[in-house]
Structure 1
Amino acid sequence: MKPTFLTLLAAGSLILGTSCGPSGRSPTTVELKPAPFKVWSVYDGTLEARSLKSIMSKGRGAVTVEEIVPQGAFVRQGDVLVRFDASDVERDIVRLERDLALARAEFESLEQAKLPLEIRDLESRLLDARVQREAEEQYLEDTRELLADELVSAQELKQQEVRAEAARKLATNLENQLELTRKYLHPSTIERARATLSSAEAEMEMAREKLASCVVTAPVDGIVVYRSVHVGGEYRNVRVGDTLYRNQTFMVLPDMTDPVVQCNVPEAELSRVRVGSKVLVTPVSYPDLKLEGDVENIGSMAEQVTGRPGWQKYFQVTIRLSANDDRLRSGMTVRVTVLSHTSAAALTIPRPALNWDGETPWCSVSRRGRTERRELVLGVVGDQEVEVLKGLEPGERVVVR
């Protein structure tokens, strides 16, 4: 990018004059007068949205485009941008709804019916076993007394001892079974049922999210811009029937309510651009449209630019616009004119009047029909005029080659 420099001078700042003479070879001179002096630096830039919303697939796995809004369409927040094929997801939801209902029914049945009934049955059996144990132990005591009175035989006593021991074991086993059931078996059964229910709920939630992700709506107002994606071995814009994958960006919505301009300034010209410098922006598409702005930010690092010589580095400059226009579109090429220097009353000479002796600038001053060499101290250099800081005085006339 080769910038140009425009110098604006007040009318009458330089008065051209030609000494008259019969030979017609008298030098052309200009009279020096202080006048307003501005130097503008011109660069090519690109109009962009400050905020850019990327649109991508959020579904799990591959999705097929069923409907998509055309590129360039203006959309409002909430408008549908794309619909993906949801037939597989809808079938999954039918199956998952059934699985979820079964898991919930099983959990509620265990928690509210099966397990409580099992506990009650064990408690009832334990109560009967304890009653039976007490009865058998009482019979055993009675049998021992009867044996002492020789009313029963020793064989009958042994039989009663066996029955009493069996009753004690049954009661002990039921006590252990009830304790283990309450402490381990039922909690683990409940946890398994709860885990099955939670898993079914999670799968159902994911399926609903996947179904919701089959419809993508606009997060902000904006103009639809397609992004090329890799489809079928080529990079192109997405079409109906294409397959996309999760987090694959296929569309963007530039928010053109707050546009900015990006341009690259060669590092050798960085001194001509400062944060806060006034800027005029002209879209190439609309040369009559002039937008005011100012330099918002200057990049902190010099970088190479693709397509430019490798030895040349640039700083990226961001320009904030003071006004907007409905005709502006993201990606437009614009002409950026930066006010690099301004002076209310500067003494300037035309560039053709400037000479160089090595690194020393000088000019010829016409005095009483004669010319004399005058070395100069220069200020800002424009493409047509040069500011002189020392070496010339107002009213003097300089020779223009």
Structure 2
Amino acid sequence: MTSRTLKRILIGALAVGLLTLVVWLNSRRTTDAFGAVETVTVKPGEFGVEVFAVGEIDSEKSITISSGLKEEGKIVFLIDDGSRVEEGDVLVRLDPTPFEQIVAEFTSKVNEWNALVAAQQQSLEWEKIQADREVLTAAYELEVAELELQKKEKGDGPLELSRLQSIMLEENKKFEDMDGYIKDLVELEKKGYSNPLEIEQAKERVKKLKDASDAATRQFDAFREYILPTQIRTAKAKVEKSKMIIEQTRKAAGFQIGKAVAELDKSKQEFTAFSQLLEEARNELEKTVIRAPQPGLVVLKEAFRDGEMRKPRVGDSVIQNQPIVFLPDITSMMARVLIREVDLHKVDVGKPSEIRVDAYPELVMEGKVSFIGILAERRREVSGGEKYFKVNVSIRESDARLRPGMTARVRITAMEKTARALTVPVHAVFEEEGRLFCYAAGPRGIERREVAVGAQSEELVQIVGGIEAGDFVCLSRPPQRIVRKTKYLEPVRKAH
């Protein structure tokens, strides 16, 4: 037995002895004709309400680290249990080999589609240039055809028609002049001036001029009625054909460009899809290295592995969201305790508390209630069906020696101590008829008095009315036959 333990035992024994002495001095036995009843003197004194609970130390801010991989991963490195880590430190490494292979495969695909996209972009530009050239050529042909039509309608056509008309008129005039000359020779012959040879020669010339005049007339008529209109219609047809060709060229160019754009878009989609897959694969590869998101103390998470409950180790396989490491932030600690249902009304958020741990008895820490659960629960190790509520007590200044899971003993100050509070033992107050009573013992006998109570601790209850300092109250309910009368705080209304 250590000196520290012996010292504790002596201090405890002394405290018990003093408490026994105080109770003996404040109590006496009243004897009457009907028997003896133990009483206690009511007097003001120091009084406070405290709630005691036992629980465990835990971290206020803790994170469960799990695998983020979509596929199963294999642990190749695992930090030691209980290690202190800073933000960014490596906790777990999973085998990156399969994910590196996927990244390499998708990288190759992305490069292939990227090269194809570049080639198709050049092809598209060439198609655009080719289309522009063909459209410009067709437009040039249309312009030439329109100029040819204009030339036929307003240029060469009218000029040729005018030339042929001039030739026709000239030939007609020659014929008419020669024909008149013959007529003059005939008149002279009638007058006696006969020249048969000249007349014969003139007739031959008239015949030739007549043929030339008729030919010129026919040529003029043919050009005006048939040749020129045909040439104009031909030029117009060429214009329409050129218009049709330019329209077809534009459509064909649009089709070729559209086809090239569609192929390029498809390749871009494939490139984008594989780029996304590559990004996801890289993210998965990054997830093979699990780092600490905050400073803390490493606690390897126990789980069923290979048919047994144990902590993870190198070589284990893990799946997505399977917990591996529990990382509490030991700079912000608290105590998790269970409060009895009967004590719940004494506890409020913000109540000051005192926390001790069994591992370090000399360590006393201050804190306050930070959370009160809303659901009751039963403790299996406690019989009787008593219900408990979860309560968290935050520790004001955490100690570096604290570890999650340490046994914590918490004292919650429900009411600050007052110097002159009138109190009686809890078992001196009785609930009867829906009211609270104390049995006051005096020289004239025992009297039942209704009392108004205030706060209540484990052993004492505060009296705020019905009992005065110096009264003696019974610590147990006396037999009804020796109770002299009942005194109520308010008159009892009798039913009519």
Same fold, TM-score > 0.5, yes or no: yes
| CA distance in structure 2 between the aligned counterparts of 1:98 and 1:324, rounded to whole angstroms | 53
The reply to whether residue 258 of structure 1 matches residue 336 of structure 2 is no
Match of 2:253 among 159, 174, 178: 178
Match of 2:45 among 32, 35, 54: 35
Measured after TM superposition, the shift of residue 227 of structure 1 is: 2.1
> Which residue of 2 is the match for residue 22 of structure 1?
none
Give the residue type in structure 2 aligned to 1:205: E
The reply to whether residue 347 of structure 1 matches residue 422 of structure 2 is yes
SS at match of 2:378: coil
SS at match of 1:179: helix
The reply to whether residue 271 of structure 1 matches residue 348 of structure 2 is no
TM-score (norm 2): 0.63
Match of 2:265 among 184, 188, 191: 191
The reply to whether residue 287 of structure 1 matches residue 361 of structure 2 is yes
Measured after TM superposition, the shift of residue 32 of structure 1 is: 5.9
Give the residue type in structure 2 aligned to 1:344: A
Contact in 2 for aligned 1:100/1:197 (Cα 8 Å): yes
Measured after TM superposition, the shift of residue 126 of structure 1 is: 4.2
Give the residue type in structure 1 aligned to 2:337: C
| CA distance in structure 2 between the aligned counterparts of 1:32 and 1:133, rounded to whole angstroms | 125
| CA distance in structure 1 between the aligned counterparts of 2:430 and 2:100, rounded to whole angstroms | 82
> Which residue of 1 is the match for residue 180 of structure 2?
none
Give the residue type in structure 2 aligned to 1:393: A
Larger strand proportion of the pair:
1
Match of 1:330 among 404, 408, 428: 404
Measured after TM superposition, the shift of residue 68 of structure 1 is: 0.9
> Which residue of 2 is the match for residue 118 of structure 1?
127
Measured after TM superposition, the shift of residue 214 of structure 1 is: 0.9
SS at match of 2:104: helix
> Which residue of 2 is the match for residue 391 of structure 1?
467
The reply to whether residue 54 of structure 1 matches residue 64 of structure 2 is yes
Unaligned runs of 5+ in 2: 1-14, 29-35, 161-218, 228-233, 477-496
Measured after TM superposition, the shift of residue 109 of structure 1 is: 2.4
Give the residue type in structure 1 aligned to 2:252: Q
Once the two structures are superposed, residues 221-241 of structure 1 have per-residue CA deviations (whole angstroms, 9 ceiling, x without a partner) of 101112234544555322211
What pairs with 1:177-256 in structure 2 (closer than 5 Å)?
177-182=252-257, 184-256=258-330
| CA distance in structure 2 between the aligned counterparts of 1:17 and 1:224, rounded to whole angstroms | 55
> Which residue of 2 is the match for residue 102 of structure 1?
112
| CA distance in structure 1 between the aligned counterparts of 2:242 and 2:278, rounded to whole angstroms | 52
| CA distance in structure 2 between the aligned counterparts of 1:387 and 1:302, rounded to whole angstroms | 29
| CA distance in structure 1 between the aligned counterparts of 2:24 and 2:69, rounded to whole angstroms | 74
Measured after TM superposition, the shift of residue 66 of structure 1 is: 0.9
Measured after TM superposition, the shift of residue 331 of structure 1 is: 2.4
Q: Mean Cα displacement is larger for which, 308-317 or 319-328? A: 308-317
Once the two structures are superposed, residues 10-60 of structure 1 have per-residue CA deviations (whole angstroms, 9 ceiling, x without a partner) of 9x98892899xxxxxx99997765321223221122222111112111222
Please report the RMSD computed on the Cα atoms of aligned residues, expressed in angstroms. Answer: 4.4
Once the two structures are superposed, residues 147-184 of structure 1 have per-residue CA deviations (whole angstroms, 9 ceiling, x without a partner) of 967xx9xxxxxx999999987765543221113334x3
Contact in 2 for aligned 1:18/1:27 (Cα 8 Å): no
> Which residue of 1 is the match for residue 479 of structure 2?
none
Give the residue type in structure 1 aligned to 2:125: P
Contact in 1 for aligned 2:438/2:474 (Cα 8 Å): no
Change (3 A) 1:46 1:139: same
SS at match of 2:330: strand
SS at match of 2:363: coil
Measured after TM superposition, the shift of residue 211 of structure 1 is: 1.3
Contact in 2 for aligned 1:276/1:295 (Cα 8 Å): yes
Change (3 A) 1:204 1:398: closer
Measured after TM superposition, the shift of residue 293 of structure 1 is: 1.8
Contact in 1 for aligned 2:379/2:387 (Cα 8 Å): no
Change (3 A) 1:165 1:327: same
Once the two structures are superposed, residues 277-332 of structure 1 have per-residue CA deviations (whole angstroms, 9 ceiling, x without a partner) of 32211112222222122223333x34223525684333322222222111111222
| CA distance in structure 1 between the aligned counterparts of 2:27 and 2:141, rounded to whole angstroms | 141
Change (3 A) 1:67 1:13: same
Q: Percent identity?
A: 24
What pairs with 1:48-87 in structure 2 (closer than 5 Å)?
48-87=58-97
| CA distance in structure 1 between the aligned counterparts of 2:141 and 2:83, rounded to whole angstroms | 87
SS at match of 2:132: helix
| CA distance in structure 1 between the aligned counterparts of 2:330 and 2:238, rounded to whole angstroms | 94
| CA distance in structure 1 between the aligned counterparts of 2:124 and 2:475, rounded to whole angstroms | 110
SS at match of 1:90: helix
Unaligned runs of 5+ in 1: 1-5, 20-25, 153-158
Give the residue type in structure 1 aligned to 2:54: D
Change (3 A) 1:275 1:137: closer
Change (3 A) 1:246 1:324: same
TM-score (norm 1): 0.76
Change (3 A) 1:313 1:385: closer
| CA distance in structure 1 between the aligned counterparts of 2:245 and 2:283, rounded to whole angstroms | 55
Change (3 A) 1:18 1:262: closer
| CA distance in structure 2 between the aligned counterparts of 1:53 and 1:106, rounded to whole angstroms | 46
Change (3 A) 1:199 1:81: same
